[in-house]
């Protein structure tokens, strides 16, 4: 059973650069979430996909952030013109359809913006 | 506005004793609650969940209790083991829309051998 995978696991970038993260959900899961976790906080919701449709975006997701799930399988999260405040762990989670199905998380991508 | 609160940032327990982690929520629309365990540099790992139609759910050494009137849930770990040392997050979700999770800030559990 393959879990949620995320790449890269770590990314160090300079302020102003663009970065892109990838998430591969569990294969039969059609619902996909992105969260962000900063030090001392719990994960915070960023955005949600049902198949390829992006159905909700948090106000945390500024215009510099964009997420896609083009074929309803893997997803990418891009941050343009990174800022030091973007430094965080970016987590992806997936689940099946249904009302109260558990989300399963990937290992996360840790971003450090210098 | 912190809708899910874990007021104890840390907890130390002797091996073999009970660990009790607490979580409070404010939004009465939440009806699904979960506990996740997280090690450093890893993603959260699902432990146990409970629906609002229940007040208790057990899975091995882990039991979650839900008190809807008090908007309070707790996770009991019995007996505690050193491998349980991690950060524990509670999360809550509503019953419609995207079912996104709202997380607490976590409690760091240390089980002493």
**Which residues in chain A touch residue B93, judged by CB atoms under 8 angstroms apart?**
100
Displacement of CA B90 from its chain's centroid (Å) = 4
pLDDT tens per residue across span A13-26 = 999 999 999 999 99
Chain A residue nearest residue B35, CA to CA: A102
The pLDDT-based confidence of A1 (bands split at 50, 70, 90) is low
Averaged pLDDT, B56-62: 97
Chain B residue nearest residue A107, CA to CA: B43
pLDDT tens per residue across span A47-78 = 999 999 999 999 888 899 999 999 889 999 99
B113 to chain A, any CB pair closer than 8 A? The answer is no
More confident residue, B20 or A59: B20
In this predicted structure, the answer to whether residue B75 has a pLDDT above a threshold of 70 is yes
In this predicted structure, the answer to whether residue B95 has a pLDDT above a threshold of 90 is no
Tell me if the bond preceding A102 is cis, omega within 30° of 0: no
In this predicted structure, the answer to whether residue A99 has a pLDDT above a threshold of 80 is no
CA of A89, closest CA in chain B: separation in Å?
9
Averaged pLDDT, B82-101: 92
Show Cβ contacts of residue A77 under 8 Å, excluding neighbours closer than 6 positions. A20, A21, A23, A34, A46, A47, A65, A66, A67, A90, A92
């Amino acid at each position: 059973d393959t879990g949620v995978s995320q790449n890269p696991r770590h990314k160090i970038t300079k302020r102003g650069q663009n970065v892109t993260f990838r998430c591969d959900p569990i294969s039969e899961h059609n619902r996909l979430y992105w969260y962000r976790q900063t030090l001392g906080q719990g994960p915070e919701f960023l955005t949600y996909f049902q198949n390829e449709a992006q159905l909700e975006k948090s106000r945390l997701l500024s215009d510099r952030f964009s997420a896609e799930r083009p074929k309803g399988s893997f997803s990418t999260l891009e941050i343009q013109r990174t800022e030091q405040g973007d430094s965080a762990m970016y987590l992806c989670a997936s689940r099946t359809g249904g009302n109260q199905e558990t989300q399963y998380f990937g290992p996360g991508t840790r971003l450090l913006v210098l | 506005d912190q809708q899910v609160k874990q007021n104890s940032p840390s907890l130390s327990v002797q091996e073999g004793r009970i660990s009790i982690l607490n979580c409070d929520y404010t939004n009465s629309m939440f009806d699904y609650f979960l506990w996740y365990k997280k090690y450093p540099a890893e993603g959260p790992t699902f432990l146990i969940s409970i629906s609002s139609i229940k007040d208790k759910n057990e899975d091995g050494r882990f039991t979650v209790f839900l008190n809807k009137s008090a908007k309070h849930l707790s996770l009991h770990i019995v007996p505690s083991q050193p491998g349980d040392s991690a950060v524990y997050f509670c999360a809550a979700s509503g019953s419609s829309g995207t079912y996104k999770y709202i997380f607490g800030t976590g409690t760091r559990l240390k089980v002493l051998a």
